[in-house]
Amino acid sequence: MRKSDFHPSEIPAKPGVYVYRDWSGKVIYVGKAANLRRRMSSYFQPSRVMRADAKLRSLINSIEDWSYETVRTENEALILESRLIKDYAPYYNILMRDDKRYLLLKLDWTEKFPTLKLARLKKNDGAQYFGPFPNGGALRMTLEFLLAYFGLRACRDSEPDAETRKRCLKRIVNDCCAPCIGAVTPEEYRQRVKRAVAVLEGNIGEVTAAVKKQMAEAAAEERYEKAAHLRDVMSNLEEVFGRRNRIFVRPELPGSSPGREAVASLGKALGLAAPPSRIIGFDISNILGKLAVASLVAFRDGRPDRDNYRRFRIRTVHQSDDFAMMHEVLVRHFGRLLEEKRPLPDLVMVDGGKGQLSAAIDALVEINCPPLPVIGLAKRNEEIYLPGRSEPVVLDRHDPALRMLQALRDEAHRFAITYHRELRNKLIEQSKLDEIPGIGANRKRELLRTFGSLRALKKAAPETIAEKVPGIGAELAGKIAEVLNRQSRPDNERAQHESIE
Predicted TM-score (pTM) of the model is: 0.47
294-320 as b/e: b if 16+ CB within 10 A? bbbbbbbebbbeeeebbbbebeebeee
Contact between 281 and 412 (Cβ < 8 Å) = yes
pLDDT digits (tens, 9 = 90+) for 425-440: 666 555 667 778 888 8
Give buried/exposed letters for 36-72 (b at 16+ CB in 10 A, else e).
Answer: bbebbbebbeeeeeeeeeeeeeebbebbbbbbbbbbe
Name the DSSP letter for residue 344. P
Q: Is the pLDDT of residue 463 over 70?
A: yes
Q: Are 361 and 349 in contact (CB under 8 A)?
A: no
**Facing residues of 68 across strands?**
18
Q: How far apart are CA 426 and CA 454, in angstroms?
A: 11
Query: What is the signed CA dihedral for 374, 378, 384, 387, rounded to 10 degrees?
Result: -40
357 confidence band (pLDDT: 50, 70, 90): very high
Q: Among 30, 27, 32, 1, which Cα is nearest to 14's? A: 32
Q: Which residue has the higher pLDDT, 460 or 51?
A: 460
Residue 159: pLDDT band by 50, 70, 90 thresholds?
Answer: confident
Question: In 3-state terms, what secondary structure has residue 230?
Answer: helix
Kindly report the average pLDDT of the chain as a whole number: 82
> For residue 155, what pLDDT is reported?
81
- The mean pLDDT of 132-158, rounded to a whole number, is 84
Distance of CA 148 to the CA centre of its chain: 32
pLDDT of residue 252: 61
Asked if 291 contacts 420 with a C-beta cutoff of 8 angstroms, the reply is yes
β-bridge mates for residue 303, sequence order: 300
Please tell me the predicted confidence (pLDDT) of residue 490: 39
C-alpha separations of 369 from 271, 311, 329, 347, 377 in Å: 21, 21, 14, 13, 21
Q: Is pLDDT above 90 for 139?
A: no
Phi, psi of 195, deg, nearest 5: -65, -40
Q: Backbone phi, then psi, for 295, in 5-degree steps?
A: -125, 150
Say how far apart CA 59 and CA 20 lie, in whole Å. Answer: 9
DSSP string over 231-296: HHHHHHHIIIIIS-PPP-SSPPPTTS--THHHHHHHHHHHT-SS---EEEEEEEEEETTEEEEEEE
pLDDT digits (tens, 9 = 90+) for 257-298: 557 888 999 999 999 999 999 999 999 887 655 678 899 999
Q: pLDDT tier at 495 (50, 70, 90 boundaries)?
A: very low
Q: How confident is the model over 58-99, as pLDDT tens digits?
A: 888 888 888 888 888 887 888 888 878 877 888 888 765 544
In this prediction, residue 2 carries a pLDDT of: 63
Mean pLDDT for 103-111 is 89
- Judged by DSSP in three states, 20 sits in strand
Dihedral of alpha carbons 95, 101, 254, 236, sign: negative
Q: What percent of the chain has pLDDT over 90?
A: 27
Average pLDDT over residues 237-256: 63
Q: What is the largest CA-CA distance in the chain?
A: 87
- Residue 390 CA to residue 318 CA, distance in Å, equals 31
Contacts of 423 (CB under 8 A, 6+ apart): 291, 293, 313
